[in-house]
Chain A
Amino acid sequence: MNGNNIVFFCDTYGRAALISALTFLGTIQPDKTSLKEVIQLPWWRTMNNLPPGQLLEIGFGRKESRIFVIWLPGDKELLPRLAHSMSAAFSKNPEWLFIDALPRTNHWTGLARKLSLLMGNSLITHCLFLLGILKENRQNNKAKVAPRYSR
């Protein structure tokens, strides 16, 4: 596969990855979109059924780049390493860029993480995660770029 594909990844059940991806695509504007609007996004049902480690294509960016989201239950920093070494091992040169959608945590996402350990993936943790991610994104205004592994 050729093309500059972008993969947004996180360890928050895909929430941070999806919000960053939709921000990238222009569907969400961190400064303008409210928490209520984010909660009402039709994507959440799909995300709730997305198993960890499964790529989900959500759209096309500029120059027909494919945009993916993925979530991992932890150790998310291993994803770019794995992809880089696998592409080398399999002699593939996919032009993929991996972006950590939530490189930092705040009080809200921290609380959501702790609660999700106790009560699992629930509506409360969902809202707390979204609140924390939105606040974080508003502060950053754009996602941090993880190490790029191919051109």
Chain B
Amino acid sequence: MHIIYHCYGGAHSSVTAASIHLGLIAPHTVPSAREIQSLPDFDQPTEKEHGYLRLMGRDKKGNHIYVIGRRGLKNCFDTLVNSLVQNWGIPLDNLLIVDTVTCVNWVMMIGGYASRRLGWVALGRPLVTVGIQLAYHNFVHLVAQVQKQAQGAVTH
């Protein structure tokens, strides 16, 4: 199965959710700032990388876990991906699309904007890290739901 975590820039919330899913950070304790900032691709993607699906790894069940920055296509992203996949003959039950912006708080938004859009990394990165720590349980809850949903699906 293919699981796609998507957010605006593919730099923070989708990376966090995918990392929890893959077991790169423990779900039961809030990770340290250092742990969060050392996640693969955390706070790294630029505008040039938006729109490209990035494989983060495979989970224990063999599902492929992806992240993507889909910018302003939030409302039509599911339709777009499903439409392409259907025309390629891939069954839709082999795909799970997860919007991680539902877990994002204001601290993450301000930090993410400062770091990625304005280039104020020294200010933005610590802010977005604190934001993730504050919203961590939301991410864990979201990933648990996704894993539960993926459990019933057949892995291809």
Contact = CB atoms under 8 A, between A and B. Distances in A.
Interface residues of A, number: 27
Interface string B127-147: 000000000000000000000
Contact of A89 (B2, B50, B78): B2
B79 interface: yes
A72 to B, nearest CB: 6
Contacts of B70: 75, 78, 82
Interface stretch (B19-27, B30-38, B51-59, B107-115): B51-59
Interface string A85-117: 111111010100000000000000000000000
A120 interface: no
B51 A86 contact: no
A89 B72 contact: no
A72 B4 CA distance: 20
B72 A75 contact: yes
Given A54-B79, A89-B2, A89-B64, A1 B71 contact: no
B80 A53 contact: yes
B84 A78 contact: no
Nearest 10 interchain pairs by C-beta: A78-B51, A53-B80, A53-B76, A81-B51, A53-B79, A52-B76, A85-B53, A75-B71, A85-B52, A55-B83
Interface of A: 1, 51-55, 68, 70, 72-75, 77-79, 81-90, 92, 94
Given A74-B72, A85-B52, 14 more contacts: A1-B88, A1-B89, A53-B76, A53-B77, A68-B87, A70-B83, A74-B71, A75-B50, A78-B50, A78-B70, A83-B84, A86-B53, A86-B81, A92-B88
